[in-house]
Amino acid sequence: MTESLSMNQSRIQELAELDKKYFLHPTTAPKTHAEEGPKIMFSEGKGIFVNDMNGDSYIDGVSMLWNVNLGHGQLELAETAKEQMSKLAYSSSFIGYSNEPAVRLAEKLVSLAPGDLNSVFYTSGGSEANDTAFKLARFYWELKGKPQKRKFIALEDAYHGVTIAAQTATSIPNFHTFSNSGISDVFHAKPHLTNCELGDKSDPNYEGCIRDIIEKEGADTIAGIIMEPIQGSGGVHIPPDGYLQAVRELCDELGILFIADEVITGFGRTGLMFGVENWDVVPDLLCFAKGVTSGYAQLGGVLIRQHIRDTIVQYEGVLSHGFTYSGHATACAVALKNIEIIERDNIVVNAKMMEQELKKGFEYLKSKHPMVTKTRAIGLLSAIELYENSDTNKPFDISVKATAQVGEECFKRKLMIRPIRVGEGKNIIAIAPPLVINKQEIEQMISIIDESITAFEKILT
């Protein structure tokens, strides 16, 4: 081993020890981590690839946390951050203070957003955006003289973040094991409008479909319905055509605000700039984060329809809500550049084209591996579902840990994907690479998944 190699090894070792000791990781098993240390120590990246400190190169098959839309090592974003930081890294947006990048970005976002989503409230991320949407919705109804409209409906399998209100709306059970806290007045519905065949409606924990809940609670108590246009962390569930339109109509009919959580689906991920555009729906509040900066700076926000803005601007008091980093100058400058590149390099069109390549790859995997039973893709948001028996949709036994095992096999072969296990025996692998991916890189990804499933099949036999 050369001297520099061994120095690098001892540095990695030192970092691992420090990490174990001082860094409490999010969404990580603390006991295992304290014993085993970090799984990987990233050091740099380019496009769809990230390197670890050993110099091994991995394909980032899920854009880290579905956010690195422009891929890694995008130097124009780095330059923009440097330029803005050198001038004015940050300024407050409270008490009417402002800065140019925040204003220009607001104008740009409004020009891109569907319908009359005509103003923006900035946050630092997605959970804060959803919490802000809940507060805006309640505030709106108070101003409208309907303060009793305070409840929210979210969907089963939803992920909306981890701040207390957003976590309550999140229905993936794991996220309720950490200090099972939450706000009241959030109900989870089956992702259907009507005809839920569920039992006792007088049970306070009754979960029906959206209309059942509205009937039970009373439309005059419901402030809003929140949903991801396409569910991400819950398993990449693409709604059937007509579903989002029907929710929109229901909200209009009953005077309920429609909140779209576009934290994953925004900024080209689904092959259009926003997920709701796949079905021509305009929500009342649209929450975004992640892809707005491709992860190069922390930023989120809520786009707000004109009728809500009109109501809010009549309020003569102070809108006492906001984050230190609302309208962060550097984050907003990076977002503007990110959007400029997305438009200039036709990134959204690329996502749509690459959807076709992914789908071809999925057909191949299905033809070769009986366990690959269901696949779906919209833009570069996609998933594979594994079943023990694809003819009968018999799930793998939980003890088999099918997706975790395939995920590990992929990792060994230098591809990072996202294994998701939901409910009883649903084994889903999410694939959502950076939107700059090309055909050959998709083929490379598919071939690694192919080899990994083959390896898993061997383990099973």
Residue 323 binds ligand PMP (CB under 6 A): no
Least distance from C-beta 148 to ligand PMP, angstroms? 27
Q: Which of 149, 160, 190, 376 binds ligand PMP (CB under 6 A)?
A: 160
Provide the residue type at 296 as one letter. Answer: Y
CA distances from residue 152 to 93, 133, 217, 220 in whole angstroms, order as listed: 29, 11, 10, 12
Q: Which of 38, 47, 71, 161 binds ligand PMP (CB under 6 A)?
A: 161
DSSP H helix total and E strand total for the chain: 14, 15
Tell me whether residue 40 or residue 65 sits nearer to ligand PMP (CB atom): 65
Residue 171 binds ligand PMP (CB under 6 A): no
128-130-133-139 Cα dihedral, nearest 10 degrees? -70
Tokens 């799984």 found at? 39
Q: How is residue 340 written in tokens?
A: 């400029």
x/- string (CB under 6 A) for ligand PMP, residues 47-86? ------------------x---------------------
Least distance from C-beta 448 to ligand PMP, angstroms? 24
Residue 229 binds ligand PMP (CB under 6 A): no
Residue 291 binds ligand PMP (CB under 6 A): no
Provide the residue type at 151 as one letter. Answer: K
Q: Which of 60, 131, 157, 261 binds ligand PMP (CB under 6 A)?
A: 261
Q: How is residue 443 written in tokens?
A: 């083929």
Tell me whether residue 45 or residue 295 sits nearer to ligand PMP (CB atom): 295
User: Which has the closest alpha carbon to 429: 235, 230, 219, 224?
Assistant: 235
User: Which has the closest alpha carbon to 71: 63, 81, 61, 82?
Assistant: 63
Burial of 50 (0-12, 13-18, 19+ CB in 10 A): buried
Tell me whether residue 37 or residue 434 sits nearer to ligand PMP (CB atom): 434
In degrees and rounded to multiples of 5, residue 100 shows phi and psi of -60, -50
Tell me whether residue 300 or residue 327 sits nearer to ligand PMP (CB atom): 300
Least distance from C-beta 328 to ligand PMP, angstroms? 14
Q: Which of 47, 61, 126, 433 binds ligand PMP (CB under 6 A)?
A: 126
Question: Does residue 77 contact residue 67 with C-beta atoms inside 8 Å?
Answer: no
Q: Which residue is nearest to ligand PMP (CB)?
A: 126
By the criterion CB under 6 A, which residues form the site for ligand PMP? 65, 125-127, 130, 159-161, 228, 232-233, 261, 263-264, 289, 300
